[in-house]
Amino acid sequence: MGMEYHSLTSKQKGGVGEALLTAHMTHSTDIIVEWVREDLVANLDADLGEISVEHDHRVETYYINQRGTHMSWTPDCLLTAYTSRAYGPLRSSGDIRVDYPIEVKTGEYAELERNQREVMQLLATESNIVPVLATVDLDPLPSTYGVEFDRIAPPTGGTS
């Protein structure tokens, strides 16, 4: 019996894109870690000192209640960046912590769902949370793939 070939569904393509960025393989996570470090340096107006980035494997759901509407979003992965002015394993009171919850979308036409976008925009109003959309392009596979990271901006017109 020979090899059988099947078309990929949209969900399967999304799973492949997510696996490329969030699988527990060093290179995949390094792509995100490098971007987080560059983003932190570019967007924080502070003497950062040493930056460490941790990949949290226990991703939790964010719950938002805005004007009586309950919304939630569970990111595909979460990285937490710390700046360290202390020496050794202890954190100091001058350290900065920024959470980077990341939603991975795969393909040219993949978009955030309405609740995902709204929750991410509201989270972006917090000074220590930077929601990120990571778009993965699988077209160059099997030898390469593309990835683009975009910060999600707070909603326009306020959040009240």
Q: Which pair of tokens denotes residue 10? A: 């949209």
Stretch 76-90: mean pLDDT, rounded? 75
Per the listing, tokens 């050794």 go with 88
Every domain of the chain and the residues it spans: 10-151
Residues forming a β-bridge with 136: 106, 147
Share of the chain above pLDDT 90, in %: 42
Could you give the CA distance from residue 134 to residue 77 in angstroms, rounded to a whole number?
10
Average pLDDT over residues 54-73: 87
Angle in degrees, CA 67, 70, 72, rounded to 5? 130
pLDDT mean over 62-68: 88
Global confidence as pTM: 0.85
Residue with tokens 């993949």: 110
* 24 contact partners, CB below 8 Å, separation of at least 6: 57
Q: Smallest Cα–Cα separation from 18: which of 138, 129, 123?
A: 138
Q: Which residue has the tokens 């917090």?
A: 126
Please give the Cα distance from 119 to 103 (Å, whole number). 12
Measure the CA dihedral 81/77/129/39, to 10°. 50
What pLDDT, in 10s, does the model give residues 113-156?
989 999 999 999 998 999 999 999 998 888 999 999 999 999 98
